[in-house]
Amino acid sequence: MPDAPWRVGQQVCVEVPASSANLGPGFDSVGIALDIRDRCTVTITDAPGVEVVVAGEGADGVPLDESHLVVRSMLRAWDLLDVAPPVGMRVECRNAVPHGRGLGSSATAIVTGIGAANALWRLAISGSADIEPHFVNDLAAQLEGHPDNSSASVWGGATLSWLDDRSDPNEEVSLPHTTTLALSPHPDIRPLVFLPQVQLSTATARSVLPAYVRLGDAAANSARVGVLVHALTRDPSYLRAGTRDYLHQEPRRPSYAASMALVDALRGAGIAATISGAGPSVLALAVGEQGERAAADAPAGWQVLDPGFAQTGIRLVD
């Protein structure tokens, strides 16, 4: 593994938006970027090892060494690029994305690490920092295990993503390619997030999902994904129909009963509402005066976020 021309003082700063995934039927494939951004500054130092400093969301609950998810993602990116990491670096994270609430905090950290590693490497070899989004998208989907959250954080707006099929299941591929269609959300749609005080890990939420689904449910879900994309980009009047899920929300209901009760109440009022990612937050895609009505339905103790769509994904900042 060759050494990169690292120099003490080289620095990049990246911002990455939160995401909400699935949007009902788009399980592991559809996501939207929300304008809540984590910021991370990485500096090459002459002190051996990695110094991690975290402020904001999750500051008291994340590791401050090489096991930090941002750092692990950076090291994986450099390994894939066949580049030896720098001897020392300082990683400063300022987190705004809530942890364990279904807003893609893990994907945000992964995209942050890969993007920072990519930008630092380009800075080292060319003198100009830059991020290659396709590289970030592919590796982030691999590390996350599914591309919905990570692709939204890479590209911004709304995304529809899938991992390309392999012609030979025994073929070894170092980095499976992720295809992402970047979608432009309709300007009349206002995403609102209902944030409970409790957390729920993605692993726990996925552990209760059934191994098999009924053919009829799979067919119905396929139709609703098509409606979802149409409603999200062209005709928001179909949003409630397009956010009907047949695969994952009902099996998870006992894991976030209060969240599903809110989803039921909002949908009963005619507002498109789903579980955000793995939960327990609830996403409402409001149109017009629905925004005020949806916010008024927030249960006691829940916080309502009105972030808007993040029109851009990962970006370098000064």
**Binding site residues for ATP, as ranges?**
98-108
Answer whether 73's CB lies under 8 Å from 110's CB: yes
Query: 150, exposed or middle or buried, with CB in 10 Å at 0-12, 13-18, 19+?
Result: buried
Comparing CA positions, the residue from 146, 196, 118 lying closest to residue 19 is 146
Q: Within 13 Å, how many C-alpha atoms sit on residue 253's CB side?
A: 10
Q: Which DSSP state fits 205?
A: H
Q: Within 13 Å, how many C-alpha atoms sit on residue 236's CB side?
A: 18
202 three-class SS:
helix
Comparing CA positions, the residue from 196, 9, 14 lying closest to residue 94 is 14
Return binding residues. Answer: 98-108
Answer whether 143's CB lies under 8 Å from 107's CB: no
Which residue's structure tokens are 């249960």? 299
Sheet of 303-305: strand order equals 272-275, 282-287, 189-195, 303-305
Report the DSSP beta bridge partners of residue 56: 95
Interior angle at CA 114, CA 204 and CA 36, nearest 5:
65
Torsion of CA 213, 219, 223, 225, to 10 degrees: 30
Torsion of CA 25, 28, 30, 34, to 10 degrees: 110
Answer whether 308's CB lies under 8 Å from 190's CB: yes
